[in-house]
């Protein structure tokens, strides 16, 4: 790799031990992927330091102690506990306190403790052609596909990029790789955010780590629908970029998206394919559930408004838990708008920093035994997101009941599962 003088100074330790460690890791990454040089990034979405694992938190504290600081604006990904209101989720206090230690280290390094998988709704909005880095696949695919920024799926290397302000030039940082591979003909535009989620999940399984180019939408999808589409594509497949001509910068046509070449494969996505995803994730055949969860990925303010409109003047059924997960920033906006009051009056719990698959519910994790984390027994969780359904199955290891947002709210109010009504 060609390194400039500043890169070399960091690698040689002339700018401190933290930058030396970070640059060394990035050089190894670049060499592994054949990068010719580095690019300067403008934004980083970084690891939270997950409290389930003591070493994970200690790693962030060690970086802070070595003088690490973010060289670019940085937001922090979702965590293992709501660090302010952990009691309402039933999280062990030791887990929350350890997560607070990680937050202290993040603050010391100059990162924004957003603790969210949707930092764009919290004001982090990298613009077209901004090179960036992200630990969260939902952020990567949204920023690449909706905003036109340039990012790979980075893992912990996002932290190192944030510290140095640099990243190896490979993958989606090269325009030559930002080209469509599969043409997806949508036979009917999905009607709801949940439908877009199921469409993305269906397509992601077919294209793998390819770049799907969508055509046939009868209207321009909303930002929330695009968010759901991308999150699901990145869950069932390894998609980091999708292209909708006229939506994804700078592509004005399918021909431009494929750089004048023929697609590797042409796929049709029908209403039946969307329905099949709903059916697949309705595995609790008796319809019984322990929790209704809204907000995956973390809800935007517009989604919070929708939830409030559906719950206004209503009451969550006795014995039903309704969780709405969102970022701190969106929660604060919703608080000022009176939305939180409406939701909490109805009996919903507004939870920030974490979500069911990232909190103490997870059975796929092996937490430090000193934390006293004992996942509660859960039969099934009602969800509005195919991404959440997949991870509930994998991480919490219980059944799911996937339905639309309106139906999920109705489920919480009546105490009886309401399946998606659309054909």
Q: How does the average pLDDT of the chain come out, rounded?
A: 96
Least confident of 188-192, 242-246, 276-280: 188-192
- The CATH fold assigned to 5-175 is Aconitase; domain 3 (3.30.499)
Q: 10 Å Cβ neighbour count for 94?
A: 16
> 309-315: long-range contacts at Cβ-Cβ below 8 A with a sequence spacing of 24 or more?
310/405, 310/406, 310/409, 311/342, 311/343, 311/346, 311/348, 311/409, 311/413, 312/342, 312/346, 314/346, 314/413, 315/346, 315/347, 315/413
Q: Which residues contact 391 (CB under 8 A, 6 or more apart)?
A: 235, 357
Residue 309 pLDDT greater than 90, yes or no: yes
Q: Give the bridge partners for 132, in sequence order.
A: 43
Does domain 179-279 fall under CATH 3.40.50? My reply is no
**Whole-number pLDDT of residue 422:** 74
Q: 10 Å Cβ neighbour count for 364?
A: 11
Question: Hey, is 410 helix, strand or coil?
Answer: helix
Give me the mean pLDDT over the 361-371 stretch: 86
Are the CB atoms for 297 and 138 separated by under 8 Å? yes
Residue 30 pLDDT greater than 70, yes or no: yes
**Whole-number pLDDT of residue 371:** 86
What's the alpha-carbon Rg for the chain, to the nearest Å? 21
Residue 366 pLDDT greater than 90, yes or no: no
Residue 368 pLDDT greater than 90, yes or no: no
Nearest of 80, 68, 10 to residue 44 by alpha carbon: 68
The whole model's pTM is what? Answer: 0.97
pLDDT tens for 159-186 read 999 999 999 999 999 999 999 999 999 9
pLDDT tens for 314-350 read 999 999 999 999 999 999 999 999 999 999 999 999 9
How do the domains of the chain map onto residue ranges? 5-175, 179-279, 281-414
Chain centroid, CA 228 distance in Å:
10
Residue 16 pLDDT greater than 90, yes or no: yes
**Furthest-apart CA atoms within the chain: distance in Å:** 65
* CA dihedral sign of residues 217, 222, 225, 227: positive
Token pair 């970086």 is found at: 63
Confidence of residue 105 (pLDDT cuts 50, 70, 90): very high
Nearest of 403, 229, 421, 406 to residue 307 by alpha carbon: 406
Q: Which residues contact 99 (CB under 8 A, 6 or more apart)?
A: 48, 49, 51, 57, 79, 80, 81, 83, 353
pLDDT tens for 261-294 read 999 999 999 999 999 999 999 999 999 999 999 9
The CATH number of 281-414 is: 3.30.499.10
% of the chain at pLDDT higher than 90: 95
pLDDT tens for 135-162 read 999 999 999 999 999 999 999 999 999 9
Chain centroid, CA 292 distance in Å:
19
Are the CB atoms for 37 and 66 separated by under 8 Å? no
Q: Give the bridge partners for 401, in sequence order.
A: 282, 382
Phi then psi dihedrals of residue 380, to 5 deg:
-160, 155
What gap in Å lies between CA 382 and CA 379, rounded to an integer?
10
Least confident of 73-82, 97-106, 367-376: 367-376
Residue 423 pLDDT greater than 70, yes or no: no
Write the DSSP string, 120-155.
Answer: GGGT----TT-BEEES-HHHHHHIIIII--B--B-T
Domains 179-279 and 281-414 share a fold: no
**Whole-number pLDDT of residue 308:** 98
% of the chain at pLDDT higher than 70: 100
Question: Hey, is 259 helix, strand or coil?
Answer: coil
What gap in Å lies between CA 188 and CA 176, rounded to an integer?
31
């Amino acid at each position: 790799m060609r390194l400039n003088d500043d890169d070399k100074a960091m690698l040689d330790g002339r700018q401190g031990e933290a930058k030396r460690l970070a640059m060394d890791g990035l050089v190894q990454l670049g060499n592994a992927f054949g990068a010719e040089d580095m690019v300067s990034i403008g934004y980083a979405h970084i690891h939270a330091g997950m409290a389930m694992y003591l070493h994970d938190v200690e790693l962030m504290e060690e970086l802070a102690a070595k003088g690490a600081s973010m060289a670019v604006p940085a937001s922090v990904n979702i965590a293992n506990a709501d660090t302010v209101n952990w009691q309402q989720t039933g999280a062990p206090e030791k887990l929350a306190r350890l997560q607070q230690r990680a937050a202290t280290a993040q603050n010391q390094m100059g990162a924004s403790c957003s603790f969210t998988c949707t930092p764009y709704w919290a004001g982090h909005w990298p613009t077209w052609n901004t090179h960036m880095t992200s630990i969260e696949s939902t952020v990567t695919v949204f920023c690449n596909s909706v905003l036109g920024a340039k990012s790979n799926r980075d893992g912990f290397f996002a932290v190192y990029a944030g510290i140095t302000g640099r990243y190896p030039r490979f993958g989606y940082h090269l325009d030559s790789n930002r080209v469509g591979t599969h043409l997806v003909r949508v036979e009917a535009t999905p009607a709801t955010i949940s439908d877009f989620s199921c469409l993305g999940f269906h397509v992601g399984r077919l294209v793998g780590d390819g770049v799907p180019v969508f055509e046939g939408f009868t209207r321009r999808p909303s930002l929330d629908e695009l968010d759901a589409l991308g999150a699901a594509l990145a869950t069932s497949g390894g998609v980091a970029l999708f292209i909708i001509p006229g939506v994804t910068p700078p592509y004005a046509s399918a021909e431009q998206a494929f750089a004048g070449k023929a697609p590797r494969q042409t796929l049709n996505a029908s209403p039946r394919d969307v329905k099949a995803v709903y059916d697949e994730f309705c595995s609790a055949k008796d319809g019984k559930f322990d929790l209704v969860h809204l907000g995956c990925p973390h809800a935007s303010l517009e989604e919070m408004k929708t939830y409030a409109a559906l719950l206004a003047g209503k009451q969550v059924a006795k014995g039903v838990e309704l969780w709405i997960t969102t970022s701190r920033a969106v929660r604060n906006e919703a608080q000022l708008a009176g939305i939180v009051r409406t939701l909490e009056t109805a009996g919903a719990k507004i939870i920030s920093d974490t979500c069911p698959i990232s909190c103490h519910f997870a059975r796929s994790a092996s937490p430090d035994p000193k934390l006293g984390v004992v996942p509660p027994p859960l039969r099934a969780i009602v969800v509005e997101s195919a991404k959440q359904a997949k991870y509930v199955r994998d991480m919490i290891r219980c059944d799911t009941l996937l339905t639309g947002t309106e139906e999920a709210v109705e489920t919480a109010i009546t105490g009886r599962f309401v399946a998606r009504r659309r054909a």
